[in-house]
Amino acid sequence: MESILPCSSDPAFEGDSLWGPLDAGCMQVDDPDYYFDSYGHFGIHEEMIKDSVRTDAYKHAILRNPHLFRDKVVLDVGCGTGILSYFALRAGARHVYGIDCANIVTYAQDIVKLNGFADKVTFIKGKVEEVTLPVEHVDIIISEWMGYFLLYESMLDTVLYARDKWLAADGLMFPDRARMFVAAVEDAKYKYDKIEFWADVYGVDMSVMRKVALLEPLVDSVDSQAIVSSVCPIMELNLQTMTMADIPFVSSYKLHMNKKDFVHALVTWFEVGFLHCHRPITLSTSPKFKQTHWKQTIFYLDNAQPVNTGEVLEGSIAVRPNVVNHRELDVKISYRLQGEHPLNSCQFYRIR
């Protein structure tokens, strides 16, 4: 994929005032217990396991490549119920270590005994940054770390910490690549249902809520037929070599309109790749493919933007962990269009 460069030509994204004043009323104290407690409930693991796009991608990446796993020591970061650990065992791993801070790991330990793998799997309850492994190095790290908008929940930080601490010099990351994309969508009905309806709620003007509703992107499934532009990559990560400094990013985008319509929002999605495989495998959350539990993330414009075929909507997008709650994300997007209906605006969003 073509290298994605920071946008240095957008005045709204230059200098020390990139982010500017943010609404302190929207900030919350970081509560790590709440985060880990949410993953202690079986329901969220049921949803993830039943996501066949997600689970089959990991299953195929591991089981179709036994030459990579045979007699290897594997670390499963954020192991949950341990399903990825079992795939590694079936692929021939010598031993698997799984780490999870949520209470679900106690059930994973029972599942190990129930299935007769107690001598080949060791599940450890605790934070990756605080636990000790009985081995100095591991050969492979597997993890399903992706959140909404790829980076929400900041689990990637933990995966990189584990990589730097335990992965052997020639070790492998599963997955090892990640990319994010953006496109423009026509979404009038949903925008009305979620944003504009505040103007008249049973005869009461609640339009002050509109600003709050616009601030939070919507996580939902987008009909691929609603996309009215080209698709643009905005970020790419190599998990083998990246550092935590690569997680906050600023990137430019350019979207060519393919029809005369209205643009109500930008929609983003991601894919991760298992490029070490004999035949590379991609897990995609694109609206053009089968839905996953990640769905897509939708950023609504303040007002509907009329566009014509061939016009170009461009701008910049900046993403960083929230300064108060590092698992949340601050997003700043600029919008520019020169055409029959010019546009030049900038909006802040918070993913939480």
Which residues have CB under 8 Å from 46's CB, separation 6+? none
At 60, give phi and psi (nearest 5°). Answer: -70, -40
E-strand stretches of the chain: 73-77, 95-100, 121-125, 138-143, 167-174, 177-185, 218-220, 232-238, 249-256, 261-274, 281-284, 296-307, 312-321, 329-337, 343-351
Spatial contact of 234 and 115, defined as CB atoms under 8 Å apart = no
Active-site choice (46, 47, 130, 153): 153
- Annotated active-site residue 14? The verdict is no
The residue assigned the tokens 């999605």 is: 269
CA 180 to chain CA centroid, nearest Å = 8
Neighbouring C-beta atoms of residue 313, cutoff 10 Å: 26
Chain position carrying tokens 């490029």: 275
Q: Which of 2, 136, 144, 271 is catalytic?
A: 144
Amino acid identity for residue 186 in this structure: E
| Token digits of residue 167 | 């992965």
Question: Is 144 noted as a catalytic residue in this protein?
Answer: yes
Token pair 């005369």 is at which residue?
Answer: 260
Spell out the residues 6+ positions from residue 105 whose beta carbon is closer than 8 angstroms to its own: 79, 80, 98, 99, 123, 124, 125
Which residues are tagged catalytic? 144, 153
